[in-house]
A and B are shown apart, each in its own frame.
Chain A
Amino acid sequence: MQANKTLDTRGLACPMPIIKTKKTIDELNEGEILLVIADDPGAKEDFPAWCEQTGNELLKMEEKDEDIYIYIKKGGKNE
C-alpha cells in the first residue's frame, strides 16, 4: 500500500504516538494515506479507537516483528 506520508513513532510511549498522528493527519488532504509505525503495545487498541472516533479510516494494521504498521486514510466524516 502506498502512503502519502510516513510517521515513525517507534520508541514513543502513550499518548505521544496518537498526538503526533493527529498533528500529522491535520496537515494531510482528505483521502490521503498516512502510514504510522508504532511499537507502543497500546497502539493496537488505541489506533482503531482513535480512527473510529475521529472519522478517519483504518485501512490496514499489520505487525512486523515488534512494530505495528498502521495505514490510515484521512476521512471527512467530521468535516
Chain B
Amino acid sequence: MEKSKKKIAIVVSENSLDKAMMPMILATSGIALDAEVHVFFTFWGLELLKKNYKPKLKGIMKPFTGMMVKKMKEQNISSFEELRSQCIELGAKFYACSTSMAMMGIKEDDLIDGVQISGATKFLKIALNADTTLFI
C-alpha cells in the first residue's frame, strides 16, 4: 500500500532575492523528501512567478545585488531561475493569488507556465491538511 505523502504548504509574500531563494530551496528539498509541496505567492511574492523576473536585494542593500549574485555563483549555489524551473520540473505546485494579481496589474500571460491561479480559500484548504506551513 502506498504511504500517503507528507504535505508542505508555503506562503511567499515578498520578492527580494533572499526571500526568493528560500522558498525555491525549501520546495525542491521538500520534493526530494517525497513530500507534496504547495507554494502560494501573494502580494509582492507574486512577482517571483513573472517570466524573466530577477529578484534584487531590498532597500539600502539593493545596489549590492550584483555582488551577492556573483558570490552565490562562485559558491555554486543555483540561481533563482534555475531553482524555480527545478521546482516546476519536480512537480511543486505553484499558486498565484488572484486578488494580488488584480491589485498588482499582473496578467496570466506574465506568469511562467505551470502556475495555477487561485484564491486564499484553496490555499487554506491545502494548508489545513498540510503537515507543516511556512510563511516567507
Contact = CB atoms under 8 A, between A and B. Distances in A.
B103 interface: no
Contact of A15 (B2, B6, B32, B75): B32
A1 interface: no
Contacts of A13: 75-78
Which interface class (under 10, 10 to 19, 20 to 34, 35 or more) fits B?
A: 10 to 19
Nearest to B75: A13
Contact of B25 (A15, A50, A77): A15
B28 interface: yes
B129 interface: no
Contacts of A22: 31-32
Given A11-B76, A12-B76, A13-B78, A19 B86 contact: yes
B52 interface: no
Contacts of B6: 53
B113 interface: no
Contact of A78 (B29, B34, B86): B34
B33 A15 contact: no
B90 interface: yes
Interface in A33-79: 50, 53-54, 77-79
Given A14-B29, A18-B29, A50-B33, 11 more contacts: A13-B75, A13-B76, A15-B25, A15-B32, A16-B78, A19-B86, A21-B32, A22-B32, A54-B32, A54-B33, A78-B3
